[in-house]
Amino acid sequence: MAEAFPTLFSGITLGPLTLRNRIAMAPLTRQMAEADGTPTDEMVAYYARRARGGLGLIITEGTYEQAAYQSRAYLSQPGITNDKQQAGWAKVMDAVHQHGCKIIVQLMHGGRVCDPRTLYGQPPVSASATQSGGWTLYTDNDYEKQIRNISGDWPKVTFPPARALTVEEIHAVADGFAAGAKRAVDAGADGVEVHGANGYLLWQFITPKTNLRTDEFGGSPENNVRFARLVGEKIRAAIGPDKLITLRLSQDGVDDFVGAWPGGVTYAKAIGQALKGSAYDALHWSSFNYLDNRDPADPTPMATVLRQASGLPLITNGGIADGPGAEAALTSGAADVVAIGRPIFAHPDWAYLVRSGVDYPWMDFDRKYVIRPPLDYAHAYPLGLVDPEWPQP
Ligand SMILES: Cc1cc2nc3c(=O)[nH]c(=O)nc-3n(C[C@H](O)[C@H](O)[C@H](O)COP(=O)(O)O)c2cc1C
């Protein structure tokens, strides 16, 4: 059978890791862990189900990597900070690997946008002493609103003022990332992704409007990425050369869905150049539409700019919903791998559905899916979509 999307379904080597195709599942927070951050059997089933759907790579949901420095951002967020959490992740890794899919753990630190209920009265930490303008709670769950003491259709969750990390603390937090990475690979992960996107701690350093520092960790694109580079280097020292390390970047934050870097493409170019020669094997562009770069002067997708400036392979995410869209991202020079978020959440067999060429009624999305999905997305999909002529892993 002729392959409809030959680039998408060709293998690729990213750093030390070879993937069977160029489809990655984007990181999606599900808040399905135990209250103590231990991954649940429900999570094992959820990830295994998507691995079975034919993906090349799974990037897990954002996972807190250290107990100190108010890293945890969400209730029921998984962690990778102790033996119990590590053992839970080991079950996820085993189940995913049984389906021929690779998996890396996304390590994240919430910084100034941690859910206040995870802070236990401590101030959140950030690049500088700033305060987030708040985060819209996408929920239709009245109980959730009641316990947060907020109301209305699109209520805002507010965050306490953050304090700036000292240089010593920056090094300690980077050590925490390395310890989490070591645990992730000891649990069987094929590597880790460092979360430098979407409004969380490393984004707060990379983004000029939240980084007001005047020391070596602020004030220029090179300085703004210095913390992310340090985290990468410490992780590489902890896990060695045989595991994948990626860095996720974005303009948006969870508290700023229309974020734009000052200087747009020019800033992206400088960030890409500043990441040359870093410990990262690949970069990952995060957005809701990778073609929307928000630079009125230059429409080049940020992923393309970063790919050229850094010389690193790009995992590109945002609004890629079907086979033609994925193939176009790859052949246009904007991506080496595509990361698909909501469509794979809703359609675990996304890869096989695309490859089969069936005309499939893709699901529309509701923004209020984080806490309580309005539909049971795990319903049965047509099986038997694996063509015997396709090369198997
Ligand atoms: C429910 C939900 C949870 C998310 N959780 C994470 C996360 O943990 N880490 C992360 O980097 N991005 C997270 N994102 C962003 C997605 O990875 C992705 O960037 C976004 O969904 C756009 O891609 P898509 O159009 O393929 O869905 C989340 C998005 C959604 C909708």
Structure tokens at 260: 């734009």
Does the structure show a pLDDT above 50 at 372? no
The architecture in CATH of the region 12-356 reads Alpha-Beta Barrel (3.20)
SS3 state of residue 272: helix
Does the structure show a pLDDT above 60 at 285? yes
Question: Residue ranges of the alpha helices (H) in 217-301?
Answer: 221-224, 226-239, 265-274
* Model pLDDT, residue 388: 61
Does the structure show a pLDDT above 50 at 380? no
Report yes or no: 152 and 109 within 8 Å, Cβ to Cβ: no
| Ligand 1 centroid – CA 372 distance (Å) | 16
Q: How many CB atoms lie within 10 A of CB 359?
A: 7
| Ligand 1 contact, 61 CB (< 6 A) | yes
| Ligand 1 centroid – CA 2 distance (Å) | 32
Q: What tens digit of pLDDT does each residue of 313-350 get?
A: 999 999 999 999 999 999 999 999 999 998 888 788 89
* Model pLDDT, residue 392: 57
| Ligand 1 centroid – CA 382 distance (Å) | 26
The atom of ligand 1 lying closest to the CA of 61 is: 8
- pTM of the full structure: 0.94
Residue-averaged pLDDT of the chain: 91
Does the structure show a pLDDT above 80 at 289? yes
Does the structure show a pLDDT above 80 at 312? yes
d(CA 47, CA 92): 7
Report yes or no: 63 and 107 within 8 Å, Cβ to Cβ: yes
Report yes or no: 229 and 143 within 8 Å, Cβ to Cβ: no
Taking residues 101-123, report their average pLDDT: 95
Which of 46, 64, 74, 200 is catalytic? The answer is 200
How many angstroms from the chain centroid is the CA of residue 54?
20
| Ligand 1 contact, 307 CB (< 6 A) | no
**Going by C-beta distance under 8 Å and a sequence separation of 6 or more, which residues neighbour residue 178?**
231, 234, 235, 237, 238, 239
Strand partners, 316: 285, 338
Structure tokens at 378: 């795990």
d(CA 296, CA 265): 10
The atom of ligand 1 lying closest to the CA of 195 is: 11
Instruction: Tell me the best of 23, 25, 29 to mutate to test the pocket of ligand 1, counting ligand atoms within 8 Å of each CB and taking the most.
Output: 29
Report yes or no: 387 and 1 within 8 Å, Cβ to Cβ: yes
Confidence of residue 379 (pLDDT cuts 50, 70, 90): very low
For the question of residue 200 being annotated catalytic, the response is yes
d(CA 344, CA 353): 11
φ, ψ for residue 251 (rounded to 5)?
-90, -40
DSSP 3: -
| Ligand 1 contact, 14 CB (< 6 A) | no
